[in-house]
Amino acid sequence: MFRYMFLFFILLSNASLAAEKRDTGFKLDVIVKGFFSPEVKQATVKSVRSGSIAESKGVKVGDQLLAVAGCEIPSCPASIAKEYISQPIGTIVNFQFKQPNGKSYSVDIELM
């Protein structure tokens, strides 16, 4: 098992995708499993941009990502997660989180 801790280039707000950048309003610390076909094992909110849609919808540092567009974490293939947030700017993507107190919530965020 390979374990990597890095800014989640797939879901972070400054990910370079083709000629455009996608902005979710938050950045994640991520642990992935595997090398050739990595799966997201864990993703935790590292920062939330002030004034972002994510902030207005209650995303907070320390929240754990449970799913992106229905792809559950752990086990979501990194390539699938990237595909979901690589949609055109203006696409609305659903993210499910769990707060440190155990309360789960879901937010729809428009890719900017």
pTM comes to: 0.79
Residue 60 phi, psi (nearest 5): -130, 155
CA atoms within 13 A on the CB side of 70: 1
CB neighbour class for 11 (10 Å; exposed up to 12, middle 13-18, buried from 19): buried
| Mean pLDDT, range 10-26, rounded to an integer | 55
Q: Where are the domains of the chain?
A: 3-110
| Mean pLDDT, range 100-105, rounded to an integer | 98
The CATH code of the domain at 3-110 is 2.30.42.10
| Mean pLDDT, range 6-22, rounded to an integer | 43
Confidence of residue 19 (pLDDT cuts 50, 70, 90): very low
| Mean pLDDT, range 19-28, rounded to an integer | 79
Cα torsion 63, 73, 78, 90 to 10°: value is -60
State the DSSP H helix or E strand holding residue 67, giving kind and residue range, or none if neither.
strand 64-68
